[in-house]
């Protein structure tokens, strides 16, 4: 029986601090995938001289975890990841250094020291903004009303295990045309609960076409405005880093 090999050299330095980071995908960088971003981030962490903690084993990698990334092709103001570091650092200094090291369009907006609890558990819903180009705003409003009147609206998407049909209507907590942009295109806002499988804006548009017959003539411009815990008072999304900021402020 082959003997199990043991990695040579000292074990990696332990992590002493965890940071939670919010960043934006803007402009052409909305087409970057999670894999594209992870490669860019690892280079940026080295350039910014962040004292990263690494995993043990023969192939150590920086301790970075991602949370509920937006689909490729959508812009976002609310993407999150966590890192662990081997020295205590100033979160604002890390924010500035990482923002400088990443390409324009991948913008680091906020860095906080992680408090107790899971970030992933706080990401309960997302708020989305869709600019519906080339369509009559009244037709968009009428289609939304018909969609909201449905008890069920299905979409089919291909997963690794094959095609799967699922309901989108149950995940949509709020949906309305809230105005027009500078070119007269309807602005559609919606709050969508995070489910399994996840219900994405393109799934909702597919279901909208199926139940109402409405289909935008060109793909909408989609931006995730926020993701976090659902608010109690109204259908909305709160700041998932608020508890971390409160813990830092009281420390």
3 state SS for 137-160? HHHHHHHHHHHHCCCCCEEEEEEC
Residue 236 region, left (φ>0) first, then alpha (ψ -120 to 50), else beta? beta
CATH number reported for the structural domain that contains residue 95 in this entry: 3.30.70.580
- pLDDT at 44 (0 to 100): 97
Contacts of 192 (CB under 8 A, 6+ apart): 125, 126, 128, 171, 172, 173, 199, 201, 204
CATH number reported for the structural domain that contains residue 153 in this entry: 3.30.70
Chosen domain end from 61, 90, 121: 121
129 shares its domain with 91: no
**How much is the average pLDDT of 53-61?**
86
Domain housing 216: 125-228
- Encode pLDDT of 85-125 as tens digits: 999 999 999 999 999 999 999 999 999 999 999 999 999 99
Q: 117 in a domain, yes or no?
A: yes
Of the candidates 133, 96, 123, 126, the residue with the CA atom closest to the CA atom of residue 111: 96
* Average model confidence (pLDDT) across the chain: 93
Q: 116 in a domain, yes or no?
A: yes
Q: 217 in a domain, yes or no?
A: yes
Q: 60 in a domain, yes or no?
A: yes
- Strands (E) located in 181-242: 186-193, 221-228
Is this model's pTM higher than 0.85 or not?
Answer: yes
132 shares its domain with 104: no
């Amino acid at each position: 029986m082959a003997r199990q090999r043991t990695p040579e050299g000292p074990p990696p330095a332990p992590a002493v601090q965890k940071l939670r980071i919010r960043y934006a995908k803007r402009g052409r960088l909305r087409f970057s995938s999670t894999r594209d971003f992870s490669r860019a981030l690892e280079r940026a962490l080295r350039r910014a001289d962040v004292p990263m903690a690494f995993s043990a084993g023969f192939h150590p990698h920086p301790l970075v975890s991602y949370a509920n990334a937006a689909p490729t092709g959508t812009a976002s103001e609310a993407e999150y990841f966590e890192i662990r570091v081997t020295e205590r650092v100033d979160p604002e200094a890390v924010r500035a250094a990482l923002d400088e090291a990443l390409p324009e369009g991948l913008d680091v907006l906020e860095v906080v020291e992680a408090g107790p609890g899971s970030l992933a558990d706080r990401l309960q819903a997302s708020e989305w903004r869709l600019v519906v180009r080339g369509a009559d705003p009244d037709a968009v409003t009428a289609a939304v009303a018909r969609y909201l009147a449905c008890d069920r609206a299905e979409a089919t998407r291909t997963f690794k295990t094959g095609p799967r049909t699922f309901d989108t209507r149950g995940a949509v907590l709020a949906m309305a045309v809230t105005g027009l942009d500078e070119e007269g295109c309807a602005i559609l806002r919606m709050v969508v609960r995070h489910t399994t499988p996840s219900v994405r804006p393109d799934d909702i548009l597919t279901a909208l076409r199926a139940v109402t017959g409405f289909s935008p003539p060109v793909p909408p411009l989609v931006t995730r405005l926020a993701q976090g815990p659902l608010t109690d008072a109204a259908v909305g999304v709160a700041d998932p880093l608020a508890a971390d900021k409160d813990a830092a402020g009281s420390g």
